[in-house]
Amino acid sequence: MEFRTEIEVSPSRFRIGTDSKIMTVGSCFSEVIGSQLADNKIQCLCNPYGTVFNPSSIFKLVSNSLQNQPVYKHLMVENSGIWQHYDYHSKFYANTREELESLLNQTNKKSQQFLRKANFLVITLGTAIVHQLKENGLVVANCHKAPASTFKKEVLNVKDITLRFSAMYEQLKMHNNKIKILLTVSPVRHTRETLQLNSVSKSILRTACYHIEQEFNDVHYFPSFEIMMDDLRDYRFYKADMIHPNEQAEKYIFEKFSETYFTEDLNSFLKEWHKVKMSLAHRPIQTDTPAHQKFLADLLEKLDGFSDRFDVSSEKEKVLSQLIAA
């Protein structure tokens, strides 16, 4: 007797290897995927623009970076002496317009340089509901606590999203013809707009992803949303807010992700790396015993074995700090 409906992920023609470079953008679930990749020593630029939920803003940020567009100064906003930008997450702020402009241009330049060499761009779409500035109709990524009267709320349709994706895709391919795109819909529930509108929003995003995948042969959809909604359909897989997947759910979804995209070589490395991470997390009561010092020496040797392919300098430094010089 079956007690759950496990999602079968479609096999992917694209494979992420030990030398792959990946950039993640989008909702907070892009942060989850990106941090998991980086934690497993995969070269990853994780959500460089901060958390961005709607596809219009996500595609705009990527396109502007690729074209080396200066940030739009007219979208900077000041509140209590702090400057922020409507196109970017609230983690980007400065005391002056000039400082903020410099910070954002550096962010865009870093994203552009990485995208030109990246093998994969992972995009996580969070919501189809957008806020437009009433004065000019521009969609914002973050309202930065401006009065609600400043904005008009709209719902993007499938055509809006697919057209905006196509424009970004053309720019991306002009700069890096070999890059592949992995699309996913965030499993995080956007309850602020009501659960009813959240369902409408997610259905639009999912339909848009379907059409995009059908149109572009180097785009693949990963069903993180479906895994959460159908496979893990129980509140025990949510955090206390009942909105975000908990650590167990995030780990399960990432395992599905790795099964779908990782090469055998990378999966083999991850098994070995997991053992190393367990050793690094070990907290002995006494660190100066001969047994623990040998444990550290053996661990350092294992790290040295990885150093020709991966950056393990921080891990080696941690181990060396505990080793007692002979």
Does residue 169 have a pLDDT over 90?
Answer: yes
**What's the CA gap between 181 and 167, in Å, rounded?**
14
Phi-psi region of 41 (alpha: psi -120 to 50; beta: other; left: phi over 0): left
The residue with tokens 């702090």 is 82
Span of 5-19, 25-39, 204-218 with lowest mean pLDDT: 5-19
Backbone angles phi, psi at 64, to 5 degrees: -65, -40
Q: What is the average per-residue pLDDT within 125-146?
A: 95
Does residue 250 have a pLDDT over 90?
Answer: yes
Instruction: Write out the DSSP string of 210-278.
Output: HHHHHH-TTEEE--HHHIIIIIS-SGGGB-TTSSSB-HHHHHHHHHHHHHHHB-HHHHHHHHHHHHHHH
124 touches 32 (CB < 8 A): no
Which class is 21-263 in CATH? alpha beta
Q: What is the average per-residue pLDDT within 143-171?
A: 96
The residue with tokens 């300098």 is 313
Domain ranges of the chain: 21-263, 282-326
Span of 61-75, 117-131, 141-155, 288-302 with lowest mean pLDDT: 288-302
Does residue 3 have a pLDDT over 80?
Answer: no
Name the percent of the chain lying above pLDDT 70: 98
**What's the CA gap between 210 and 63, in Å, rounded?**
22
For residue 208, give both structure tokens.
């848009």
Residue-level pLDDT at 171: 95
What one-character DSSP code corresponds to residue 94?
Answer: B
Q: What is the average per-residue pLDDT within 155-166?
A: 97
Does residue 135 have a pLDDT over 50?
Answer: yes
Give the sign of the dihedral formed by CA 237, CA 240, CA 243, CA 245: negative
Q: What is the average per-residue pLDDT within 248-269?
A: 93
First to last CA, the chain: 61
Supply the Cα-derived Rg of the chain in whole angstroms: 22
Residue-level pLDDT at 1: 64
Residue pLDDT, tens place only, 81-105? 999 999 999 999 999 999 999 999 9
**What's the CA gap between 185 and 204, in Å, rounded?**
10
Helix and strand totals (H; E) in the chain: 10, 10
50 touches 320 (CB < 8 A): no
297 touches 319 (CB < 8 A): no
**What's the CA gap between 308 and 306, in Å, rounded?**
6
Does residue 326 have a pLDDT over 70?
Answer: no
Q: What is the average per-residue pLDDT within 144-158?
A: 95
Residue pLDDT, tens place only, 20-71? 999 999 998 899 999 999 999 999 999 999 999 999 999 999 999 999 888 9
